Chain A
Amino acid sequence: MALVITACNSWLKVEPDDRIVSENLYKDKAGYMTALNGVYEELNELTEFRIRTLDRMAQYYGSAAFDYNYYNGSSSSDYENTCKLRTNWDKSYSLIAGCNEIIRQCDGESGIVLNGGYYEMIKGEALALRALLHFDLLRLYGPVWSEKDAESIPYMTRADRKTQPLLTGSAAADSVIADLRAAADLLEKVDPVIGEGKRDFSDGLGKNDWNYRQYRLNYFAVQVLLARAYLWTGNTSQAGIVARDVINRASAFFPFVTSQYMLTTPDRMFSPEVLFSLYNLSRTSLIYNKHFAFSVWNVLTAYGPNSTGRISYMYDNLNDYRQKMWIDAPNYEHSSTVSHLIKYQDETTNGAEAYRYMIPLIRMSEAYLIAAECETDVQKAIDSYINPLRFARNSPNLSATTRTELMNHIKAEYTREFVGEGQLFFYFKRLELATVPKADAANSTMNMPAGGYVVPLPDNEQQIRGL
């Protein structure tokens, strides 16, 4: 009888053939990598929110194309959907839950298959992904740092997916930092990026577990993320230490682009400098064609033509590689000329595979800008961090004598450097700027209302929590 029941037990275990039960996936390294890769792959789903909503919130685009903008007070009552806020929240937390399952499995019974550095890499990257996702949500929904004790977001770390309380802004930031430090500790032991750099080549049969580190949250990317998080909490000393460390150790592998390179390569990603990015084969159809292509309805464009509009004030010289990413073209109604961003336009020249599918998330220049901001010596900041970046962008050196001047330079560089990458709004929010650029004017500012930096939690989350 017992024998029959045992035989039945195995017969009763059914594996569906189009899906796979968690227990069966985490049987070997490949299964773990498949689950981890699923999270990286799905991060692409957050791109539209980042490049469209976040950068509109950063007031880059003020065009004839009508689109809801969180701060311009559109009447749309359904802004959660039109702005992809709901998608961003749901998807982010769903991926976080995915990370938590990976982490649980790493430390569970099946984790023993993860020898040869896989444990450190997989768990480290999963922790870092969890921190990255939470940090972006914290920066959006959380309070400004001066009100760091206000409620922010739940920080999900449990695989059982029990509802967690809303943490204060500072507690959530502490969790981000803790996860990132744990991730860095794990990755530091095994990540080949530390000694060999990107490894942007294929091992042949597609087994790229340790290659293309630029498309993974590698040790250096995690460190920049950590510096970013420290800076968010106002911890400039730690942020500076980490940023300088990255500059020292990673510059050899992630060098600034040279004028020689830029002459021959239409690489608007500055891909050699990119520390972490997403890989998206459909970048042209899903990103460029939908949001930036000329004459597309709903296109994102900067106010006015390059010569007299927003762009003419955003950049201080016409040779800046970044200025060249803006092209004059008629707006979609053909009633005027506006600046179009061609950063994500497709390139098919030889070797373009290195950047044509890339969507950058963390780049080397941020380490320089963080280091500059954390440097108490203004002159040193200009010399060591601002001007090297300026040089790499084909722009003349700047000078500054006061901290205010320095900060203005940093702000201008943030604005130029991270267009299309969704970082500028968070920069404004971190510094709690009272005025921000006005999107539908060439060179004007608008006041940020009190509390304007905090996006309310999605309706669904509020309702269930009884808020």
Chain B
Amino acid sequence: MALMTLAFSLALTAQTDTDGKKITLHVKGISVEALFKEINRQTGQNFIYNVKDILPLKAVDVDATDEPVASVLEKALSPQGVSFKFTEGSVIVKKAAIYPVSGRVTDMQTGEPLLGTSVFDRNTGIGVTTDLSGNYHINVAEGSVLVFSYLGYVSVERKITGSRTGLDIALVPTENVLTEVVATGIYTRPKESFTGSSQTYTVKELKTIGNQNVLQSLKTLDPAFAIVENNQYGSDPNRLPDVNVRGKTSVIGLQQEYDTDPNQPLFILDGFESTLAVISELNMDRVESITVLKDAAATAIYGSKAANGVIVVETKAPEAGRLRVSYSGNASVSFADLTDYNLMNAAEKLEFERLVGNYDLIEYNEHLAEIRRGVDTYWLSEPLRTALSHRHNLYVEGGDDKMRYGAGLSYGLTEGVMKGSDKDAVNGNVRLIYRNKRFLFQNYLTVDYSTADREKVAFSQFSRAIPYYRKMDENGDVQPILFNYNGYTTVYNPLYDMGLNSFSTTNGFGFNNNFETEWRATDDFRIRGRFSVALSTSRNKTFQSPYATMFYTTVETERGSYSETYSGNSRYEGDAGLTYGKLFREKHRVNAVTGMRIQRTYSNPTGYTVYGFIDDNYTSPTFSNGFVQGSKPRYSSSDVRSASYYLNSGYAFDNRYLVDFNYRYDGASVFGASRQWTTTWAVGLGWNLHNESFLRYQTAVSLLKLRASVGNPGNQNFDAYISMNIYGYTTTYPNLFGRTALITSWGNPDLKWQKTLDKNIGADIELFDRRIRLSLDYFVKDTDPLLVYVSAPASTGSTIAPMNIGRQVTEGLTGTLNVAILKQENMAWNVSLNARHFASEYRNIGNLLDEYNQAGLGVNLQRFYDGGSPDDLWAVRSAGIDPATGQELFISKDGEYTFTHSYADEVKVGNSMPDIEGVIGTSFYWRGVTASVNMRYRLGGQLFQSTLYEKVENISGGRLAYNQDKRALYDRWKEPGDKAKFKGISVTQTTPISSRFVADENTLAGESVSLGYEAQSPRWLQNMGAQAFTLRGYMNDIFRLSTVKEERGLDYPFARSVSFSLGLRF
């Protein structure tokens, strides 16, 4: 601000006093005195000066075209410590005095000295750096402005009018100071000296997006983190999201033979491994920050588990002080998003059947009569509701220097938009921290209990139901059968099943205790030990009423079922490590973290299913007829152990050149007996250009950092016993010779572990006092070899075998740009944009996966060819429907038109991965009020439209008993000359998949809109005894515009929601 005022006043002076006098001069190495003469020659301006002051001055270069005199003088004189002043008729030139200035720079909050703060003259760019104690000493000319600048803090400027000692400056950290530290879960490092690609988000940022789930918010904020939309199960609160960081590394979809999703990132909660389920259910109010570790240098400390990226979640630690109570409450209203459904009404459906020609006249007339009576049932609304969810969190914290405590209790009820689906969860947690000069002890205990219920009938049952049927008969009773088509197809009433006493309930209980102790042996050297125990159980009870329509064709004694699944899980994890960090000779910073970690995870799912119930009032298994012949209780167990040694070392020279080296030696039971250990490494390099002398003493560029890294993180998310032959005991045919065992799972002892070579180049840039922030990353992930389950000839003993085949190379670019358009104390306006682009390619596969290509013909559009991408869509090109015949015209590989569909003509017709996807957002702040809007865009991807394929084009036989998309009636070919998009309406043969069903998909979705108010101790708050107050309203997924109309959320619709959160601190 000072700068602006100065410049402004200067310009003003020049205007009035020199009457806008301008000169044009191009000369090099002109002496100051000669310059004055030249100006005098051109403008008649007089100069008054002392020759002694002028003679020692250096010659200057002038490059002025029609430039005001004041400006030319400013450039020539100010850097040389000479001032000038316009007076009546002449300019007085005088040498400025040089004053010594000294003082100390500290952190405003902690009072700690800030080592390495830049202190420099804004005009000359000449400056110094503070020493270890934060002290500085500089000589500056009178009237110059000193800038105190340190990364992560708001810069301060002081005008110097005389000599000063003790010009102490306390710098205030910038708002999100947390982003300046990278917490990897094993060690923390200042972001400036970290060479990996990572991004940290505070809970405040997350809560600006939404209040429901940390992962949903993270998806909006970070372009590298994605949640794959689940078209089948939409916004079902009881389904876990499919998440990935920087796309997928493995071939999946070949065979889902894995125990766990091999593309899932590793989750770390407070330093220990966690699960997707725990993180996605984590109460947001407990979270302090989330860090996404992306490249090898950032993730390598997690070694063989890190190939898919790491998500590190840190929960809030209590703050010292008097006892404080805070409350936060969240409430939300959700409703189903049915805009993508385009179903026929009763009359349309019947007309469609007539045109198809496959109908029975008597039935047709019956239905017609019903329609004339006004029957047009809207089935979709039946299973849906407006869902109300709420969550409360109460937190108590306090303590003193030595002892701090925090205890929290939270309760949440999440309702799904389908009737009967909900989840409630209770969590209690206590954290105690004791710290003295050398020691730290910390214990964190959490207990969770949850209950989840599933809806009784899938949404698709309702979307299929035909509107010319009534929900109820004339007596108001819901009948199980809507219609019986001549005895060959029975149409059941989904409403009937929904009214039965079927249920599926899951109870979960979890106990988690983390203990940590740390000994600070010296200032530079620490020893830390941590231990975590997690125990959890989950019990599912599912009852299907014997009256359910699914049992109508079952023998009477087996109608109705009850199944129970119980799973007990435990996890122990221990970690011991040494941390060393020291600065030598003020320039050489060395950091090292080394340690050992062991982990054991045991789970033991068991279960059984019994059949045959008399009615659905008595649902206990004792009322069943027992097991169906030949069935047995289920039992399995898995014990996964791992042990590892890790080393992270970093060296920074003068905070300019950074080197990081990571090494991890991992042993795991899943690697198999022959190869228990594997090593992973990563090297990272960084260059802080903003600390170079040529960029150091200025304010335009506060951060300019280049990063590069390479490493080979591995993937452990595979079946535990993949490399070994496993015998299972058999009991079907007991004989006279005792126990029998057979090989139940064939191992491949030659299997190589799937590893990914991960290369990354990135840049972090902050300009103009952090008004512009840009972060860019480019990466190449080379997974070689891939681990693939391939078909084997049955003569080898099994039809499927794990093998190492080929490579997959994924390239990607991600970027985030933040621009502060307005930045004032009480008002701020920010615009942000993030984007990602990923592309993958298979290599060296050859024809080994040809069997999958064959099996996929007519079923899906995924093919496996060298050079092809996992996201490519393959199909025969279509030239559309021939207007003359209503038949589809195909384009062969050679570009010829043909009526014959041949799979040999398949070509790549699209790619389901968008060219670019990201979020564009803006936020506005004014006196405690924040408004923000974030919208997701997807451009340039293609989509196979299964709705068009299944509910418009291919409706034959049995499918006629379901309701269909309107386009089946309106857009199909009816008579010669019709320019239709879909084949003849009466054609019932199945059309093969062609490019006709692949369309460009561009979408824009309102992911988050929020409006919040935050108040720090205004009077009305103090009256009620509160210190701080926040209130925020959200609308999530509120709209979605797409270039294709495709049914989404088939078995469970997507939800839109409006929610509120309230926070109070006493």
The yes or no answer to B5 lying at the interface (CB within 8 A) is: no
Q: Would A44 and B733 count as touching, CB distance under 8 A?
A: yes
Complex contacts, B726 vs chain A, CB 8 Å: 16, 19-22
How far apart sit A154 and B799, CA to CA, in the bound complex (Å)? 15
Q: Would B732 and A41 count as touching, CB distance under 8 A?
A: yes
Q: Would B797 and A41 count as touching, CB distance under 8 A?
A: no
Q: Mark A1-30, 1 if CB is under 8 A from B, else 0.
A: 000110011011110111111110100001
Interface residues of B in 785-840 (CB under 8 A from A): 791-799, 801
How far apart sit A30 and B598, CA to CA, in the bound complex (Å)? 35
Interface residues of B in 26-40 (CB under 8 A from A): none
Q: Could you say which of A219-227, A278-286, A440-448 contacts chain B?
A: A278-286
How far apart sit A35 and B1014, CA to CA, in the bound complex (Å)? 71
Task: Give, as a whole number of angstroms, the nearest-CB distance from B998 to chain A.
Answer: 27
Interface residues of B in 834-876 (CB under 8 A from A): 851, 854
Q: Mark B726-751, 1 if CB is under 8 A from A, else 0.
A: 11111011111111111111110010
Task: Give, as a whole number of angstroms, the nearest-CB distance from B313 to chain A.
Answer: 28
Task: Give, as a whole number of angstroms, the nearest-CB distance from A98 to chain B.
Answer: 6
Complex contacts, A162 vs chain B, CB 8 Å: 796
Complex contacts, A5 vs chain B, CB 8 Å: 667, 677
How far apart sit A96 and B732, CA to CA, in the bound complex (Å)? 19
Complex contacts, B598 vs chain A, CB 8 Å: 8, 11
Complex contacts, B721 vs chain A, CB 8 Å: 16, 19, 21
Counting chain A CB atoms within 10 Å of each CB, the highest count among B638, B727, B744, B745 belongs to B727
How far apart sit A162 and B598, CA to CA, in the bound complex (Å)? 37
Task: Give, as a whole number of angstroms, the nearest-CB distance from A459 to chain B.
Answer: 10
How far apart sit A461 and B799, CA to CA, in the bound complex (Å)? 9
Given A8-B667, A97-B746: A209 in contact with B737 (beta carbons within 8 A): yes
Q: Would A206 and B793 count as touching, CB distance under 8 A?
A: no
Complex contacts, A207 vs chain B, CB 8 Å: 738
The yes or no answer to B673 lying at the interface (CB within 8 A) is: yes
How far apart sit A245 and B157, CA to CA, in the bound complex (Å)? 112
Q: Which residue of B640, B727, B798 contacts A97 across the interface (Cβ within 8 Å)? A: B798
Given A8-B667, A90-B794, A464-B851: A37 in contact with B738 (beta carbons within 8 A): yes
How far apart sit A9 and B666, CA to CA, in the bound complex (Å)? 11
The yes or no answer to A215 lying at the interface (CB within 8 A) is: yes
Complex contacts, B724 vs chain A, CB 8 Å: 21-23
The yes or no answer to B935 lying at the interface (CB within 8 A) is: no
Given A40-B735, A279-B733: A164 in contact with B741 (beta carbons within 8 A): no
Complex contacts, A209 vs chain B, CB 8 Å: 737
Q: Would B673 and A215 count as touching, CB distance under 8 A?
A: no
Q: Would B641 and A14 count as touching, CB distance under 8 A?
A: yes
Q: Would A163 and B795 count as touching, CB distance under 8 A?
A: yes
Complex contacts, B557 vs chain A, CB 8 Å: none
Q: Mark B743-765, 1 if CB is under 8 A from A, else 0.
A: 11111001000000000000000
Counting chain B CB atoms within 10 Å of each CB, the highest count among A12, A37, A89, A96 belongs to A12
The yes or no answer to A458 lying at the interface (CB within 8 A) is: yes
Complex contacts, B676 vs chain A, CB 8 Å: 9, 12
Identity of the chain A residue whose Cβ is nearest the Cβ of B644 in the assembled complex: A8
Q: Would B741 and A20 count as touching, CB distance under 8 A?
A: yes
Interface residues of A in 44-77 (CB under 8 A from B): 44
The yes or no answer to B439 lying at the interface (CB within 8 A) is: no
Q: Which residue of B673, B738, B792 contacts A163 across the interface (Cβ within 8 Å)? A: B792
Given A22-B726, A94-B797, A460-B794: A13 in contact with B737 (beta carbons within 8 A): no
Q: Would A208 and B851 count as touching, CB distance under 8 A?
A: no
Interface residues of A in 423-460 (CB under 8 A from B): 458, 460
Q: Would A93 and B733 count as touching, CB distance under 8 A?
A: no
Complex contacts, A34 vs chain B, CB 8 Å: 727, 738-741
How far apart sit A13 and B738, CA to CA, in the bound complex (Å)? 27
Complex contacts, A279 vs chain B, CB 8 Å: 733, 735-736
The yes or no answer to A156 lying at the interface (CB within 8 A) is: yes
How far apart sit A455 and B745, CA to CA, in the bound complex (Å)? 29
Q: Mark B588-603, 1 if CB is under 8 A from A, else 0.
A: 0000000010100000
Interface residues of B in 592-616 (CB under 8 A from A): 596, 598
Identity of the chain A residue whose Cβ is nearest the Cβ of B635 in the assembled complex: A18
The yes or no answer to A334 lying at the interface (CB within 8 A) is: no
Q: Would A11 and B793 count as touching, CB distance under 8 A?
A: no
Q: Would A208 and B738 count as touching, CB distance under 8 A?
A: yes
Q: Would A463 and B799 count as touching, CB distance under 8 A?
A: no
Complex contacts, A100 vs chain B, CB 8 Å: 797
Task: Give, as a whole number of angstroms, the nearest-CB distance from B123 to chain A.
Answer: 59
Counting chain A CB atoms within 10 Å of each CB, the highest count among B638, B668, B733, B740 belongs to B733
Given A11-B643, A282-B733, A463-B851: A153 in contact with B667 (beta carbons within 8 A): no
The yes or no answer to B400 lying at the interface (CB within 8 A) is: no
Given A12-B643, A23-B673: A93 in contact with B732 (beta carbons within 8 A): no
Task: Give, as a whole number of angstroms, the nearest-CB distance from B740 to chain A.
Answer: 4
Q: Would B743 and A101 count as touching, CB distance under 8 A?
A: yes
Interface size in chain A (residues, C-beta < 8 A): 64
How far apart sit A96 and B739, CA to CA, in the bound complex (Å)? 19
Complex contacts, A40 vs chain B, CB 8 Å: 735, 737, 740
Counting chain B CB atoms within 10 Å of each CB, the highest count among A22, A44, A279, A280 belongs to A22
Q: Would B735 and A41 count as touching, CB distance under 8 A?
A: yes
Task: Give, as a whole number of angstroms, the nearest-CB distance from B749 to chain A.
Answer: 8
The yes or no answer to A202 lying at the interface (CB within 8 A) is: yes
How far apart sit A8 and B641, CA to CA, in the bound complex (Å)? 10
Q: Would A14 and B639 count as touching, CB distance under 8 A?
A: yes
Q: Would B738 and A156 count as touching, CB distance under 8 A?
A: no
The yes or no answer to A407 lying at the interface (CB within 8 A) is: no
The yes or no answer to B579 lying at the interface (CB within 8 A) is: no
Q: Mark A207-246, 1 if CB is under 8 A from B, else 0.
A: 1110110010000000000000000000000000000000
The yes or no answer to B161 lying at the interface (CB within 8 A) is: no
The yes or no answer to A38 lying at the interface (CB within 8 A) is: yes
The yes or no answer to B637 lying at the interface (CB within 8 A) is: yes
Given A8-B667, A41-B730, A279-B733: A22 in contact with B792 (beta carbons within 8 A): no
How far apart sit A427 and B738, CA to CA, in the bound complex (Å)? 35
Q: Would B736 and A202 count as touching, CB distance under 8 A?
A: yes
Q: Which residue of B750, B795, B851 contacts A93 across the interface (Cβ within 8 Å)? A: B795
Identity of the chain B residue whose Cβ is nearest the Cβ of A90 in the assembled complex: B794
The yes or no answer to B65 lying at the interface (CB within 8 A) is: no
Q: Would B793 and A465 count as touching, CB distance under 8 A?
A: yes
Q: Which residue of B596, B641, B739 contacts A37 across the interface (Cβ within 8 Å)? A: B739
How far apart sit A86 and B794, CA to CA, in the bound complex (Å)? 9
Complex contacts, A249 vs chain B, CB 8 Å: none
The yes or no answer to B50 lying at the interface (CB within 8 A) is: no
Q: Which residue of B636, B742, B793 contacts A464 across the interface (Cβ within 8 Å)? A: B793
How far apart sit A461 and B791, CA to CA, in the bound complex (Å)? 10
The yes or no answer to B669 lying at the interface (CB within 8 A) is: yes
The yes or no answer to B450 lying at the interface (CB within 8 A) is: no
Q: Mark B625-641, 1 if CB is under 8 A from A, else 0.
A: 00000000001111111
Task: Give, as a whole number of angstroms, the nearest-CB distance from A384 to chain B.
Answer: 35
Q: Would B736 and A13 count as touching, CB distance under 8 A?
A: no
Interface residues of B in 680-714 (CB under 8 A from A): none
Q: Would B794 and A13 count as touching, CB distance under 8 A?
A: no
Q: Would A12 and B636 count as touching, CB distance under 8 A?
A: no
How far apart sit A16 and B722, CA to CA, in the bound complex (Å)? 13
How far apart sit A12 and B667, CA to CA, in the bound complex (Å)? 7
Counting chain A CB atoms within 10 Å of each CB, the highest count among B668, B734, B736, B737 belongs to B737
Q: Which residue of A8, A23, A93 contacts B797 across the interface (Cβ within 8 Å)? A: A93
- Give 5 closest A-B pairs by Cβ, nearest first: A97-B797, A22-B725, A14-B669, A41-B740, A38-B742
Chain A residues proximal to chain B, CB less than 8 Å: 4-5, 8-9, 11-14, 16-23, 25, 30, 33-35, 37-42, 44, 86, 89-90, 93-94, 96-98, 100-101, 153-154, 156, 160-164, 202, 206-209, 211-212, 215, 279-282, 458, 460-461, 463-465
Ordered by A's residue number, 13 sampled pairs between the chains whose C-beta atoms are within 8 Å are: A8-B598, A11-B643, A16-B726, A20-B726, A20-B729, A23-B724, A30-B738, A35-B727, A39-B742, A41-B733, A89-B795, A96-B797, A208-B738
Given contacts A9-B676, A16-B638, 10 further A-B contacts (CB under 8 A): A5-B677, A11-B643, A16-B637, A22-B724, A34-B738, A97-B743, A97-B746, A97-B797, A98-B742, A161-B746
